[in-house]
Structure 1
Amino acid sequence: MDTIVFIGTNKSGSSREAIKAAKRLGFFTAVFTDRPQFLEQIAQFPDVDHMILRDLSNLYTLKMAILKLKKEGKTIRSILSFIDPYVHVAAALAEQICTSIVSSKQILTMEDKTLTRRLLKNLSVSPYFAVFHPEALLQDFLPRQERHLPLIVKSPKSAGSKDVLLATSKKELKTAIKKLAKKYRGEPVLLEEFISGPQYLIEAVVYKGTVYIIAVIAQDITFQHRFIVTGYSLMPYMETPFYNSIYDSVTSIVQALGLKNGACHFEMRLADGEWKLIEINPRISGGAMNRIIEIGYGINLVEETIQLFLGNEPRLARKHSKYVYAHYLTVSYEGILSKVTGRERASKIPGVEEVFIKPKKGKYLRPPLTMGDRYGYVLASSETSIEEAKKMAEEAAKEISFQLEDEYSYDI
C-alpha cells in the first residue's frame, strides 16, 4: 500500500491540510506524533490511517518504526514534515528509506538561523548579525554590539516568536542574551540588525533549480512584548519592478543555499529600497497560509509540495486571482474560555470565506506572547481590492467574542 509518512502534525493549519491532501491523493497516511493526547483524540483525525507515538527528535527510533511499516507491507513513497524543527528530520529519514529529491543538508541550513546567516553573509539581503557563544564572556561581547542597537536577539534553532526579543539599550541587550542563553543552555544566541520597513512573506517553490514565487503576502505586525503577525494581505497584482526585485532577491538566496528542489517561505523587509532577509524556513508557512493561497489563486500548495517530494512536477499556475485578507483573533486579557459567540454572524458577512476558532471551552487564553496565542482567524476575499477584503474580515472579527472567566474562580 502506497504510504506517506508525516513527522508531526498540528490539529489544524498547513501541516494538517497536508495530511488531508495525501489522503485525497489516495495514500495511506502514517503520522508520528509526540503528543499522547492526539492518540486519545484519534476520532478527531479521520484523515490519519495510523498514528504512532514517538520522540520526534530520535532518528533511530523513527527509522525503526518506519521500517516496521515496510515489513507490514507498506510502500513508503515519501517522508514529510510541515512543522519546525522536523522538516530536516523527515528529509534525513527519506534519504535513508525511500527516494528523495530534496537534500537534508540545505534544509538543515535553513532550520539553523546561524548557519543561514553565515552562508548568506556576502549577499546584499543579509543584515548585520553577530553570534554570542556560550563559552564567551558577555562583558567582552556587549561593547562591540552597542553601536548596532537596536538589535533583534533570537535563538538560532527556535522558530517561535517567543524567542525573538527586541533590545534597544545595552541593558535590554544583556538581559535578552542572558535569558536565551539560560533557556537554551550550551546553544549560541543570534543577534541581528533591527530592520524597519514593511514586512512581506514570500512563499516559493524550487523545482529542478528554477524558483517559482507562489505568493507575496504583506504582513501586519503588532509589537507588545513580542512581534506577532495579526494580519496577512495576499497581493495578486504587483508592479513589475517590485516583483522582479523580490524574485532576484529570493533567487540569490536559493542559489547560495544550493537548493534544487523544495518548498520554503521567506520573511523579508523592504528598507530604503533594499530587501533584507528576516528569516527563511524550509516549508510553507503554517496557520491559514495554505487556505489563503487556495482561496486567492486556486493552488493547494501543500498538495503541490507533496507532488514535488514524490518527484512529480507541481502544478503552480493560478486558476484565478483574488485579493485575500486574513485577520487573526487575539484576546486582550487572560482567563479560561467559557464560550465563543458571533461565529455564525461573522460567517454570513459578504466576502467572508472562512471563520476558524482554535480553542475549545475550558482552554486558558492570554494576550499574545507567541504566535500560538492567536486563537483563530477570519478569511475574506475581494475581486476588486485588498482594502475591501480587509474591511470585511475586520468587520466579521468584531462579531466574534471570546468570553473568559477568571482563572482562579470556581463553581461551588
Structure 2
Amino acid sequence: MPLQNKHLAVVLQNTYLPFIFEEAEALGIKMTFFYNQEEAEPTHLKHVQKFIPIDLFQAPEKALEVIKTEHNQNSFDGIMTIYEPALEFVAQLAKELNLPGLSPFVISNCRNKQMMRKILKDSNLNTPYFKEIKNEEEVKDLLLTYPVVIKPSNGFASQGVSRANNKEELIDSIEKVRRVNEEDLGKFTKNKTGIVIEQFIDGPEFAIETFSVEDKVYVLSIGYKGNSKGPFFEEGVYIAPAPLEENVLESISQEAARAATALGIENGPAHIELRLDPAGKPYVIEIGARIGGSGISHYIVKESTGINYMELVFYYVLGLKPPALKDKGQQKKVVGNYIIPVQGHGIFKEIQGVEDVHRDSEVKRVIQFITKGTEIFPYPHFSGYPGFILTTHDSYSDCEQYYRYLDYKIKVVYDNKVNA
C-alpha cells in the first residue's frame, strides 16, 4: 500500500468527527495531531502516534515554531487541515516546509468572499451583485435591488449571514454582522472585518464535492442542501445524490468545475455551495478548498459513490499520485446528514429522541456536539451545531420521509429557553 507508514500532520480537527483518523488508520498512515490547547488531549484517538497542543489563533507565531520544531525532529510527509479557519495557516506552513498544498494566495482568495466574487466575475461565471463595506454609513445612498444577503467577508458555517428586504433591515443586519465579526469571528480573522452585501439568489441550494488533479476537476457528488429563504440561513439537511434531471446536473457540474479552476484549485478537494435561480441558472455561493463539514463530505461521497474522498486527499497532501478517477462516481445509496436544528436559544439541557434513533437501521452515526450547560445564542450568532444524524437509504423519497420523522422526533431542550 503506497500510503502505509507515511507520516501525516493534522492541524485542529474536530475530534467529534473522526473520519480523518479512521481512514488514516485503515490505510496505515502514521499521524501527529496538533490539537487546540484549550481542549483536553484526545487520547481516545488510539491510532494517533503523538498529540501536541497549540494555540493557533491567540499565539500563531508560537504555534508555527512548535510545528516546525516537531517537523525537524520527526519529519512529516504532509500536513493538512479540514478546519476552515486554519486553512491559511496550514497553507503557509506547507509552503515553508516545502510540503504539498495549495498556495496561501489561493486559500486566501477562497476565504475572502469579496475576492472570491471578484475572481468568479472576472472569469465570466454567473455572479450575484456584490459589494464589500465596512459599516452602515456606506449604504445610506446605495441603490440596491432587494432582497440582499449580508455576511462577514471571512466568515464560515453561516455565521452572521442574514437576509434584508429593505434599507431598514439592511442597516440592522450590517450592525449584527459587525458584532459577529468582533465577538464571534475576531479570534479567527484578526483584522479581517469586512462585510459583504450580495444579491439573494432565490432557489434551491446544492453542495458539490470535487477533487482536482493537475487542473482537471472531477465532480464526485452533488447533494441537496435545502431552499432556505432567510432571514437567517441555519444549515438543515445535506442529501446526495440530488434528484435532478441530467441537463441540470451537467449545468451544476460545469459551473462548479469552472469555479474551482478560476480560484486556482489545481489539485486537491473543494467543497462548493451553489444555488439555482428561478430560471435554473447556477450561481456559486461559497467555495472552500477542503473536504466540507470537517469530514462530513467524505462520508457523503464514500457512502453514496464508493469513492474514498479522504484517501484521495491523503494521496495529494502526501505528495503521491492519486488513483485514477472518472468524471462520475457509481451511485450506491442515497445518504444524508440531518443537521439537528437549534430550535431556539438559552442554556442547553439535552436533545430528546437521539437514543431512540440510534436503533433505526437507517442511522449510521449520531454525533452530538453541544454539552449540557452550554449557552446557545440567537442567530445570526452561531454557537455550534447541536448534532448530526448520518443516514443511508435505498431512495431519495425514503430519506425525505425519514427526515420528516426526525423533525417530529428530535427536540432540543433548554433551561430558560427563548423560542427561535
Match in the other structure for 2:238: 232
Does the CA contact (< 8 Å) of 2:79 and 2:99 recur in 1?
Answer: no
Aligned to 2:188: none
Moved over 6 A (4+): none
- Asked whether the equivalents of residues 59 and 93 of structure 1 are also in contact (C-alpha less than 8 Å), the reply is no
1:205, distance to aligned residue in structure 2 (A): 0.9
Partner of 2:186: none
CA distance in 1, matches of 2:44, 2:380: 28
Offset at residue 222 of structure 1 (A): 4.5
1:136-285 alignment runs, 5 A limit: 138-139=136-137, 141-144=139-142, 146-181=143-178, 183-184=181-182, 187-222=193-228, 226-235=232-241, 238-271=244-277, 272-285=279-292
Alignment of 1:91-106 (within 5 A): 91-106=91-106
Q: Give, in whole Å, the separation in 2 of the partners of 1:133 and 1:174.
A: 12
CA distance, structure 1, for counterparts of residue 213 and residue 126 of structure 2: 22
Secondary structure in structure 2 of the residue aligned to 1:219: strand
1:387 — aligned with what?
397
Task: Name the residue aligned to 1:66.
Answer: 67
TM-score (norm 2): 0.84
What residue number does 1:30 align with? 32
For the pair 1:314 / 2:314, whether they are aligned, the reply is: no
Q: Quick check: 2:160–2:379 contact (8 Å CA) kept in 1?
A: no
Per the alignment, residue 308 of structure 2 pairs with: 300
Verify the 8 A CA contact 2:100 2:316 in the aligned structure 1.
no
Quote the offset at 1:133 in angstroms.
4.0
Q: Is the 8 A contact 1:181 1:187 kept in 2?
A: yes
What displacement does 1:269 show? 0.8
The reply to whether residue 110 of structure 1 matches residue 120 of structure 2 is no
Alignment deviations for residues 306-359 of structure 1 (CA, whole Å, 9 cap, x no partner): 222223333456465211232222243445455555434323334333333333
CA displacement, residues 241-262 of structure 1 (integer Å, 9 cap, x when unaligned): 2222122212322332233112
* 8 Å CA contact retained: 2:6, 2:318: no
Task: Spell out the pairing of 1:332-343 with structure 2 (5 A cutoff).
Answer: 332-343=343-354
The answer to whether structure 1 residue 10 and structure 2 residue 14 are counterparts is yes
In 1, are the aligned partners of 2:150 and 2:196 still within 8 Å (CA)? yes
Q: Is the 8 A contact 1:225 1:369 kept in 2?
A: no
Secondary structure class of the residue paired with 1:24: helix
Residue aligned with 1:228, SS = coil
Indicate which of 276, 289, 292 corresponds to 2:297: 289
Shift of 1:69: 1.3
Mean alpha-carbon deviation: is it higher for 213-222 or for 361-370?
361-370
The answer (yes or no) to whether the contact 2:37–2:55 under 8 Å persists in 1 is no
Deviation digits for residues 351-370 of structure 1 (CA, Å, limit 9, x no counterpart): 33333333344444567656
Specify the code of the residue in structure 1 equivalent to 2:360.
I
Asked whether the equivalents of residues 366 and 388 of structure 2 are also in contact (C-alpha less than 8 Å), the reply is: yes
> Which amino acid counterpart does residue 239 of structure 1 have in structure 2?
E
Compared with structure 1, are the counterparts of its residues 372 and 215 closer, same or farther at alpha carbon in structure 2 (3 Å cutoff)?
farther
Aligned to 1:410: none
1:130 corresponding residue in structure 2: 131
CA distance in structure 2 between the aligned counterparts of 1:368 and 1:45, rounded to whole angstroms: 33
TM-score of the two chains, using structure 1 as the length reference: 0.86
AA partner of residue 339 (structure 2): Y
State how far apart, in whole Å, the 1-side matches of 2:167 and 2:206 are: 29
Shift of 1:59: 5.0
SS at match of 1:44: coil
Given the superposition, is the C-alpha separation of residues 139 and 371 from structure 1 closer, same or farther in structure 2, using an over 3 Å criterion?
closer
179 and 89 in structure 1: CA distance in 2 versus 1, 3 angstrom threshold: same
Give RMSD over aligned pairs: 2.9
The structural deviation recorded for 1:390 is 2.0
Whole-Å Cα distance in 1 between the matches of residues 39 and 258 of structure 2?
43
Secondary structure of the residue aligned to 1:64 is helix
Q: Which moved more, 1:61-70 or 1:106-115?
A: 61-70
> 1:147 Cα deviation (Å)?
2.8
Native 8 Å contact 1:7 1:56 kept in 2: no
- Number of equivalenced pairs: 398
Partners of 2:351 and 2:411 within 8 A in 1: yes
Distance 1:79 1:186 in 2: 25
CA contact (8 A) 2:164 2:231 kept: no
Deviations 1:172-205 (A, max 9, x none): 2122223434544673221111110111111111
| Structure 1 residues 338 and 166: alpha-carbon distance in aligned structure 2, compared to 1, 3 A threshold | closer
1:276: Cα distance to partner? Answer: 0.9
- 1:81 corresponds in structure 2 to 81
Gaps of 5+ in 2: 183-190
Whether contact under 8 Å (2:162, 2:230) holds in the other structure is: no
- For 1:332, the aligned partner's letter is Q
